[in-house]
Amino acid sequence: MKRMVLGILLLVSAAAAGLAKDRQYGGRRHPCFPDHPLSRPVFPAFPAEIITISGTMTIVQGFLAVQSNDTAYLTPGLDRYVGFIEALKDGAPVSLEGSALNYSQDGTIKTLRVTKLTVGGKSYDLARPQAAYPAPPRIRPRGR
């Protein structure tokens, strides 16, 4: 009798856990599966074409940007150099080199991955090489 009650209780709890896990993803499979429609979105890669932009530093939507003609180029990561490069401030004339990607649908705002910055008569190389991590050491088992 005890075995039968415990068996039924085990089956009911397993079924409840399975239903709860299924509801977590709206009845769909887990998002870690590559064929799942809710899997990670594929972001477009930055184009390999290098462009040079000259303009003035400004702030657009809370980010540092370069205003060139009627297009604003957001420069993510450039804000970390604001305290270290004296000439890099709001309204400063700058020249940037890098690859651009549309940020808005109408093309008035773009994102620029900066590889070279020229401000105040000085040029700064901001290209970051990919990090190459060393291989972990091989551990041999002790013994014979």
pTM value is 0.57
Q: Please report the pLDDT score of residue 33 as a whole number.
A: 55
Domain presence at residue 92: yes
75 is written with which tokens? 């420069």
- The total of other beta-carbon atoms located within 10 Å of residue 81's CB is 16
Q: Does residue 121 share a domain with residue 59?
A: yes
Instruction: Give pLDDT, residue 32.
Output: 57
Q: Tell me how many domains the chain contains.
A: 2
pLDDT at 50: 86
Q: Which domain holds residue 23?
A: 1-34
Question: Residue 5 has what pLDDT?
Answer: 83
What is the reported pLDDT for 47? Answer: 63
Residue 69 maps to a domain: yes
Q: Do strands 51-60 and 109-119 pair parallel, antiparallel, or not at all (unpaired)? A: unpaired
- What pLDDT score was predicted for residue 62? 85
Burial of 116 (0-12, 13-18, 19+ CB in 10 A): middle
Q: What is the dihedral of CA 38, 44, 45, 49, to 10 degrees?
A: 180
For the chain, residues with pLDDT lower than 70 are 15-48, 128-144
Note the pLDDT of residue 52.
92
Question: In DSSP terms, which residues pair with 110 in a beta bridge?
Answer: 73, 102
Same-domain pairing of 22 and 76: no
Is residue 133 in a domain? no
